[in-house]
Amino acid sequence: MTVNTEILQSTRIISLATNLPGPAAASRLLRMGASVTKIEPPGGDFLERICPSWYESLSAGQEVRRLDLKTKPGFDELEAMLEDSDLLITSMRPSSLEHLSLDWSALNRSHPRLCHVAIVGYVSPDRNRAGHDLTYLAPFGLLIPPSLPRTLLADLIGAERTVSSALGLLYAREKGHGAGYAEVSLARCAEIATEPLRYGLTVPGGLLGGGLPHYNLYETRRGWIAIAALEPHFLDRLVVELGIPKDNATHDDFRTVFMTRSAAEWEDWATRNDIPIVAVREWE
């Protein structure tokens, strides 16, 4: 993705957020031109222990410090940094922020120009409930046991929500509306991801859940392909090139045709014919 690397020049961000959503958001904001200082607890960021390479990638270009905010010297050092900062990103539970006097009301009194994006798990009345990506997805039909999800969906959506919230707050402040506060709930991010299910598009048998033969997965002579010929011009071109009747094309019609070549061959064919078909690959 192309990012304007000047949009946030002269913007100073302090991030207390560890694990994934906060660091991913801070990395994006840095690529927009902001300077980012990441404050980690004395024990460091858990992500560094479980995935050092990703931790290094997300921390690249940032100043990383370790402070014990439960001690007066550590807290005083953070307070000094916040004095000339524009945005604070946190990912602690609200009760922890209040205990450290880093909740919005306390911050706004001490630093009236400072905007704050708080990444939380849940909204009231469950604001202090423990959770992580897996438990945010579990209540909303986004898991099919016993398989674990292949990505951290709520965390990554939460990171993007954090970026958009940060940009909105900073823009509002520049327009004269003062510093502001935004809360990004990861459970809410997971709930938002269920909207295609809620509206019936991706439920089993729904239009995008297997109901349309031209938006589906098919086994080929070697490997699988994904086909997404949704728009009429794609579908028209597809059925003409494959020799399948458009008005009553069935899943079996496509299955029969696609078994005649390999997934790689179908992808090459689709590229030449400007049709959205891609071979399904395992991550390596």
CATH number, domain at 37? 3.40.50.10540
In this structure, is residue 7 part of a structural domain? no
Q: Are residues 184 and 213 in the same domain?
A: no
Asked which of 193, 223, 254 is the last residue of a domain, the reply is 193
**Hey, what are 243's tokens?**
């020799």
Domain assignment of residue 108, yes or no? yes
Following CA atoms 119, 121, 126, 128 in sequence, which dihedral angle do they give, to the nearest 10 degrees? -70
pLDDT in tens, 190-234: 999 999 999 999 999 999 999 999 999 999 999 999 999 999 999
The answer on 251 and 189 residing in a single domain is no
In a domain, 118, yes or no: yes
Specify the pLDDT at position 246: 80
Same domain, 182 and 256: no
Bridge partners (DSSP) of residue 63 are 37
* 104 & 20 share domain: yes
The arithmetic mean of pLDDT across residues 245-272, rounded, is 95
Evaluate whether 269 touches 279 at the Cβ level (below 8 Å).
no
Contacts of 274 (CB under 8 A, 6+ apart): 237
pLDDT at 63: 97
Does 166 lie in the same domain as 73? yes
Statement to judge: residues 173 and 212 lie in one domain: no
Query: In this structure, is residue 160 part of a structural domain?
Result: yes
Q: Packing angle between helix 153-172 and helix 21-31, nearest 10 degrees?
A: 50
- The answer to whether residues 89 and 221 belong to one domain is no
Residue 201 forms part of a structural domain: no
Whole-structure pTM over 0.95, yes or no? no
Asked if the model's pLDDT at residue 2 lies above 90, the reply is: no
In a domain, 143, yes or no: yes
Residue 231, number of CB atoms within 10 A of its CB: 10
Domain containing 260 equals: 207-279
Handedness of CA 27, 29, 32, 37 (dihedral sign): negative
Q: Is residue 93 in some structural domain?
A: yes
- Domain end point (choices 193, 219, 234): 193
Q: What are 142-191's pLDDT values in tens digits?
A: 999 999 999 999 999 999 999 999 999 999 999 999 999 999 999 999 99
Give Cα 260 to chain centroid, integer Å. 38
Has residue 17 been placed in a domain?
yes
Q: What is the CATH number of the domain that holds 269?
A: 3.30.1540.10
- Domain identity same for 53 and 168: yes
Number of folded domains in the chain? Answer: 2
- Quote the pLDDT of residue 245: 86
Q: Give me the pLDDT at residue 1, please.
A: 54
For residue 262, which amino acid is it?
Answer: S
Q: Are residues 48 and 177 in the same domain?
A: yes
Whether residues 59 and 97 share a domain: the answer is yes
Same domain, 131 and 229: no
In this structure, the answer to whether residues 111 and 252 fall within a common structural domain is no
